[in-house]
Structure 1
Amino acid sequence: MAKRDDPETIGRRVQRLRREQGLTQKQLAEPAYTPAYVSTLEAGRVRPSDAALRHLAERLGVAYEELATGRPAHLATDLRLRLTEAQRTLATGETGRAAELYGELLAEAEQLDLADIRADALLGLGECALETGELESGRRYFEQSEQALADAPLPARVPALRGRAVAHYLTGELRYAVYLFESTLDELNRSGLHDPDALLLLYAGVIGPYMDMGAHARAAQAAEFALALAPQAGDPALVARMHRSVARTLLAEGRIAEADASLAKAAELYRHLQLRTELANCHWMRGYVCAQNGELERAEQELRSALDMLTAKRAALYTRQVAVELADVLHRRGKSGQAADLLRDVLGDLSSERGAMHAAAAHRLLGIIAEDARDTEAAEEHYVRALSLLERAGAAGDLADLCRLLGDLLRRTGRVEAALDVYRTGLGHRTAPGTTTLGPAPAQPPL
C-alpha cells in the first residue's frame, strides 16, 4: 500500500477537487461530517482518518487511493500488469529482456513509493541474476526484496529468502544455504503457516545443497515433498495469459479490484512456471537414487529429463549441475567419451566463484575417467583441482572421498608418504552426513 500524503497536501487536494465539482463544504461534509471539519481538513490542520477519506472520495467521485496519494487508482494496477509481463518474459527464458523490464518497474515503484511492486521487481532482478550466474548481484537484490517486505507475513518473504539461499549455495556456501532453507521451513511448519507455494519453493530449493553435503536421505524426502506439493495446473503459461487478458479488460472497464485479483492469479502461475527449474531437481534426485541402486538406464532417463527441463529454461548453473550427474551415469554405462565431452563443456562455463561444487565434481569425474585410461598425470591434475575447490566450499563428505581417490593414485604410483598425508587429510574431513554437518531435520508439512 502506498504511503498517504501529509495533511496539508491532502487538504489542498480535497479543496481543489471540491471546487472542480462545484460543491460547498456543507455539501461535501453531509451527512457524516460538519462543514467546520471539512474547513479544518482543507486547511491542513487535521489528519483525516481512513473512514473520513473514503467518505470524501465517494462524494468527490474519485478513488480513495487517488485522494490519499494523488495517484490515479489504476496506476498501481498498470504496474502490476507490467510486472506479470516481466515474469512471463523471465519464465520463457528471455532473461536479458526480463531484467530490463524489472529494472524499469523498480525505478517507477521507487519513485511512486509502491513497496510491494518494488519488492517484486527486486525479486525478479535477483532471479535474472541467478539465471545469468551473477550470484553476488542476485544475493543483494534478494536481500533488498526481503527488507522491502520486512513487515509482511513470512510466506510473502519466502521467494526472496529462497533466492538468497540459492545464491549462497551456488557460491559454495552449503551449510549457510541449508541453514536458511531449514530455519525457514521450521518457522513455517511449526507456526502453522502451511502455505503450499512457499513450502514447494523451499523443499525444491534445498535438494541441491543436501545432495552436495551428502545428506541423501533428506534430499530424497525433500524431493518427494516438493513433487507432492507441485501444482497440477495443466499449462500454467496458457492460464496465466488468460488471466492477464481478463485483467486488461477489467481495467479498461474501471473494475480495478477484479483486475488486481486476475493479475495475482497470473503472477502465481508464472511463479509456478519458473518452478520448472526447481522441479527439474526432483528428477535429478530420482536419477541420482536410481544410479546409486544400479538402475543406470532409468537414471540416464531421469537425468536427461531434468537436463531437458533446465535447458529449455536456459538455467545455466543448474544445467551444469545435472550434466555432471549425467556424465557420471554415462561413464558407468561405458560411454566415457560422451561423459568426458559433457564435462569439458561444463568446465567451460564454471569457475571457483561461479558453481564451485559442480566444477569440483566435473574435475573429480574427469580424474576417474583419466585413471581408467591409465593417464595418471591427467588424473592427478584433475583431483588436485577438485580438492582446492572443495576445500573452499567446506564440503566435508566430498573432500574425504576425493582424498581417498587421490591417496590411492599416489600410492599406486609409488609416492607412499604423499599418499599417507592425503589419507590423513581425508580422515580429518570424514563425517556422518546429516549429523555433524546438519542439525535436526526440519518439521514436516501436513501433506
Structure 2
Amino acid sequence: MGRRVLRLRTERGLTQRQLAEPAYTAAYVSTLEAGRVRPSDAALRHLAERLGTSPDELATGRSPRAATELRMGLTDARRTLATGAARDAADAFATLLDRARHLALPAEQATALLGLGDCALESGELATARQRFEEAERLLADEPLPRRVPAIRGRATAHLLAGELRYSCYLLESALDELNAAGLHDPDALLLLYTAAIAPYMDMGAHARAAQAAELALALAPRVADPVLVAGMHRGVARTLIAEGRTAEADASLAKAQELYQQLHIHTELAHCHWMRGYVHAQDGDLPRAEEELRTARSMLASKRAALFTVQVEVELADVLRRRGKTDEARELLRPLLATPDPTRAESAAAGQDGAAAGPASEAAGGLTAERGAVHAGGAHRLLGLIAEERGDLEAAEEHYCAALSLLERSGAAGDLADLCRLLGDLLRRTGRVEAALDAYRTGLGHRAAPGTTTLGPAPADPPTPH
C-alpha cells in the first residue's frame, strides 16, 4: 500500500505535506510510504480522497471497475458455454482465471474454475474436469457448504461419466447429509444435489432412491428462482417417470425443460432434452420418432463438439436402429465407438474400412472405455453381442457380452448388468455350458460391489418442510 500511495502522490504532483494536511503530518505519510505502518480506516479514506481514488482500490490495488468487468466476463463466458461453444468458452474462462488470480479475487477464481470444469465435461476430458472442480472446492473451503455445492456436483458428474457410480452417489449423499444436519436448507443447493443424484441412482438400479430424490426435487422447485436449475430438475425427474412406465408424464416433464432451455438459448442442454425424448419414445415403442429425436440430439451435440455425450447418444441411436431392422447401420455406428476393434469385423479393419465408418465426433471422443463412459461402453458391447448373435456368430457374441459384463460390474450398473447376465446365460445354455450359464445367472441375481468401493449407506435425510 505504501508503494501505491507513493506512486499516486508522485503522479499527482503532491508533496507529502500536501497529501497529509490538514489531518496528518508529512512524517506520517513518509512512514506509511516506507511500509512501516498501515493507515486506519479514517486515514485510508482521507488519503484516497486526496489521491482521487477509492479506499478499496488504494488498500488492495484493484479497482472496483476491474472486478466488475471480470464478473461480466465470467457471465459472458458462461453464456458462450450455454450456446455449446465449449472450446471458445474454455479459452475465455482460462483468460479470466489468470485475471482473477492477478487481482487476488478467490470467489471469481472459483467461478472460472467451475466454468473450466463444465467445459471439460462437455468435451469428455473427465480427469481435467475433476481437477478443475477440486481446485474450485479448495478455494471455497472456508465458505459455507452451499457455495461449494456446484463444485461437488461437478466432481460427482465427472465420476458418474467415468463409470464410478457409487463414488458419485457418495459425494452427493455426503453433501446432502451435511446440508441437512447443519440446517443449511438452501433450496438451490438442495435442488442441484437431488437432481444430480437421480442419474447414478437410476444407473445403479436404485429406482426407489431415484424416485425419492425426484419427489424432493419437485417439492423444492417452487422455491428456486434459477430457471436453469428448474429445467435440469425436469430432465432428471423424467428419468424416474420413464422407469415407472409413465411415459406421457415423462414427455411432459421434458417438454417443460425443453421450453426453458429454448428461452435461455442453452443449446447443449436442449440437445439432452431431444436425447431423453428419444429414449422416452423408444421405451413407448414409437421407434421412428425415437430415431428422429436421437438423430437431432446427435447432430446438435456433434456440432458443439460435446464429444463424450455425442458417442453416448450414438449408442442409444444404434439400439433404436437395430430394433427397426437397420442392423448394418447400427453395427457401423457402434464399431468406431469402442477402444478395441470389433471382433466380428476384423477383416474390415484389415481392409482399411474402419476409417470410413468413424464419424468426426467419435474420433474426437477417442472411444468409450472403462474410464470414460463405462456404462455406454457396456451398452455398445451388449448391442454388438446381440447383432453377432442374430448373425449366428456366437463366439463374437460371447466376447462382446463378456466385455460388457466386465465394464458394468466395475461401474455397478445393476439394471443393465442383470439384463446382460440373462443374455449371456441364455447363450451359454444354448451352447451346452450349463454350469457357466448358471454362474452368469447368479451374477445377475446377486452381484457384489468390488472391494474398496463405497457402498450405498442409508438414504440421505429429507430436508424439513418449510412453514
TM class by smaller structure: 0.7 to 0.9
Which one of 256, 269, 284 corresponds to residue 277 of structure 1? 269
Write the distance in 1 (CA, Å) between the matches of 2:273 and 2:208. 15
Gaps of 5+ in 1: 237-268
Q: Residue type of the partner of 1:359? A: A
Identical-pair percentage: 60
Contact persistence 1:80–1:117 (CA under 8 A)? yes
User: Aligned runs of 1:31-430 on 2, under 5 Å?
Assistant: 41-50=32-41, 52-223=43-214, 225-226=216-217, 229=221, 277=269, 280=272, 284=276, 287=279, 295-297=284-286, 304=293, 308=297, 311=301, 314-325=305-316, 327-328=318-319, 340=331, 343-344=334-335, 346-347=337-338, 348=362, 349-396=367-414, 398-429=416-447
Judge which range, 93-102 or 279-288, deviates more.
279-288
Write the distance in 2 (CA, Å) between the matches of 1:275 and 1:217. 31
Contact persistence 1:284–1:322 (CA under 8 A)? no
Which one of 422, 441, 444 corresponds to residue 459 of structure 2? 441
Give the superposition deviation at 1:121: 1.6
Judge which range, 397-406 or 59-68, deviates more.
397-406
Q: What are the Cα deviations for residues 2-57 of structure 1, in whole angstroms up to 9, with x where unaligned?
A: xxx5xx4466468658863997365453xxx7888666545533333445434543
Write the distance in 2 (CA, Å) between the matches of 1:286 and 1:444. 32
Give the superposition deviation at 1:92: 1.0
Q: Residue type of the partner of 1:194? A: H
Structure 1 residues 405 and 301: CA distance shift in structure 2, 3 A: closer
Partner SS, residue 122 of structure 1: helix
Partner SS, residue 351 of structure 1: coil
Contact persistence 2:97–2:109 (CA under 8 A)? yes
Q: What are the Cα deviations for residues 268-302 of structure 1, in whole angstroms up to 9, with x where unaligned?
A: x99x87696399479839956x87xx633399669
| 1:24 aligned residue | 18
Q: Residue type of the partner of 2:166? A: R
Number of equivalences: 398
RMSD: 4.1
Contact persistence 2:291–2:321 (CA under 8 A)? no
Give the superposition deviation at 1:367: 2.3
Judge which range, 346-355 or 221-230, deviates more.
221-230
Q: Residue type of the partner of 2:379? A: A
| 2:235 aligned residue | none
Contact persistence 2:295–2:317 (CA under 8 A)? no
Judge which range, 37-46 or 205-214, deviates more.
37-46
Q: Residue type of the partner of 1:296? A: G
Write the distance in 2 (CA, Å) between the matches of 1:137 and 1:37. 51
Give the superposition deviation at 1:160: 1.2
Contact persistence 1:303–1:326 (CA under 8 A)? no
Q: Residue type of the partner of 1:277? A: E
Partner SS, residue 352 of structure 1: coil
Write the distance in 2 (CA, Å) between the matches of 1:222 and 1:81. 34
